[in-house]
Amino acid sequence: MQHFPNVPKIQYEGPSSRNPFAFKHYNPDEIVAGKTMRDHMRFGAAYWHVMRNGLSDPFGGPTALMPWDDQSNSIENALKRADVFFEFLDKIDIDYYCFHDRDVAPELNNLAKSNDALEKVTDHLLALQKSHNKKLLWGTACLFSHPRYSQGAGTSPNAEVFAYAAAQVKAALDATYKLGGEGYTFWGGREGYSTLLNTDMKRELDHLAALLWLAVDYAKKIGFTGQFYIEPKPREPSTHQYDSDAAACLNFLRQYGLMDHLKLNLETNHATLAGHTMLHEITVALDAGALGSIDANQGDELIGWDTDQFPTDLYLTTSIMLKVLEMGGFTTGGLNFDAKRRRESHEPEDLFHAHIGGMDAFARGLKAAAAIRSDGRLAGFVEKRYASWNEGIGTKVESKSVTLEEITAHVLASPEPVIASGRQEMLENLVNEFI
């Protein structure tokens, strides 16, 4: 059964193609900077957006046409959706996917029944992965939709709710392990507060760390060797979320001794909600050796919430790929399109236009980033800007072999420092040469 009858398998046709169902820049087998584009990108599709997002917004209900979905909470419906999803992955030529437990399988009226449903659906997903040659980038537990989590999951004031969340994490980890998942993500949708008047922040953070440690210990026990990630986001749904940005997450991980066990899964629209650029967030993570994976999307400058749009901004994709190349590429992570179509783009074929656009934008970002790196002028400029640290007083400070008195004596014996221009505009022009 063909669920996307109007859509062919998407193939690379090159920049002169006018076929909307073709890649103009993403050529999976083309070698760029020593690796195929496919291996650089490790593209993933998000089950929650592709299969479960009806495109409703706070002012109106769902618009997305999903003729394959009977809208029931049944296991049969869940199994059918999985078939459609793998047809989508085949046609769009994406190798990886990501899911929440409750996207793929229904939450039923008790944990035993929900776990049983998850077991049945993941058996089917495993078979589909094998027959379609697809892989799981990461799995996660949805600890934010059900009303029991309205006041937090790992940070709930109610210990029984914490316990429920922990049990859900166990089942989601079992599922991820069974499916050979290369990672497991924690996004703390409700891990924050609405008012501090009723909140014991210290206790809530201790509990959140306890949840992560329980997961790390359980993974060891079952032999799950995938990478754990934590995904920063500053607000929405909570007024304040504890994992507010990359620096806050790293501080949390360090405080609770978790740095060896978790890396960051960074999302562009979360970075901008935090008042940062994605480049800033990636740089913070990379410098801490904690850049794990990327939820690829972009926000809308005119709307102050998480619009989760498909990434089409070439400056954004170029800056991301510059850092990914600097890191030496993804290991366990990849570029997961945590992105949804606009509410007006309700036809199934819009799923393809959206992903094609994101994949082509990243392909162009990769090529531009590789060219900027082999050109060398940008890195050369930065290197030269810090050259004074490679000699004299700079070396002494960096090697911590100098006192404040010695530094003062040095300054008294030296002329006024002359600093060079930062040349921001020249460097912006240089980057534009490649885009």
Q: How many Å apart are CA 393 and CA 25, to the nearest integer?
A: 48
3-state SS string for 42-109 = CEEEEHHHHCCCCCCECCECCCCCCCCCCCCCCHHHHHHHHHHHHHHHHHHCCCEEEEEHHHHCCCCC
**C-beta of 140: minimal distance to ligand XUL in Å?**
5
Q: How many Å apart are CA 129 and CA 178, to the nearest integer?
A: 11
- Does position 295 interact with Co ion (CB under 5 A)? The reply is yes
The answer to whether residues 181 and 137 touch, using CB atoms and an 8 Å cutoff, is yes
Which member of 21, 99, 187, 362 binds ligand XUL (CB under 6 A)?
A: 187
- Strand-pair partners of 99: 139
Q: What number of chain residues touch ligand XUL (CB under 6 A)?
A: 10
Positive or negative, the CA dihedral 11, 16, 18, 23 is: positive
**C-beta of 266: minimal distance to Co ion in Å?**
9
**C-beta of 267: minimal distance to Co ion in Å?**
4
The answer to whether residues 10 and 21 touch, using CB atoms and an 8 Å cutoff, is yes
**CA neighbor of 351 nearest in space, from 131, 60, 68:** 68
The owner of tokens 């009723």 is: 198
93 belongs to the catalytic site = no
276 belongs to the catalytic site = no
For the window 83-122, what string marks contact with ligand XUL as x by the rule CB under 6 A?
-----------------x----------------------
Which range binds Co ion by CB under 5 A, 124-132, 208-216, 259-267, 322-330? 259-267
- Does position 308 interact with Co ion (CB under 5 A)? The reply is no
Which range binds Co ion by CB under 5 A, 115-123, 129-137, 293-301, 414-422? 293-301
Single-letter amino acid code for the residue at 56: S
Which member of 338, 340, 367, 370 binds ligand XUL (CB under 6 A)?
A: 338
Which member of 182, 204, 243, 267 binds Co ion (CB under 5 A)?
A: 267
- Does position 233 interact with ligand XUL (CB under 6 A)? The reply is yes
Catalytic option among 25, 40, 49, 100 = 100
For the window 336-355, what string marks contact with Co ion as x by the rule CB under 5 A?
--x-----------------
Burial class for 115, CB neighbours closer than 10 Å (0-12, 13-18, 19+): buried
Q: Which two tokens stand for residue 75?
A: 């296991």
- Does position 103 interact with Co ion (CB under 5 A)? The reply is no
Catalytic option among 93, 95, 101, 103 = 103
- Strand-pair partners of 309: 298
Identify what 364 binds: ligand XUL, Co ion, none; CB under 5 to 8 Å per kind: none
Which member of 53, 140, 156, 332 binds ligand XUL (CB under 6 A)?
A: 140
Closer residue to ligand XUL in complex, CB, 266/370:
266
**C-beta of 333: minimal distance to Co ion in Å?**
13
Q: How many Å apart are CA 386 and CA 405, to the nearest integer?
A: 24
- Strand-pair partners of 139: 99, 184
Give me the residues that bind Co ion (CB under 5 A), please: 267, 295, 338
Residues forming contacts to ligand XUL in the complex (CB under 6 A) are 100, 140, 185, 187, 231, 233, 267, 295, 306, 338
State the catalytic residues. 100, 103
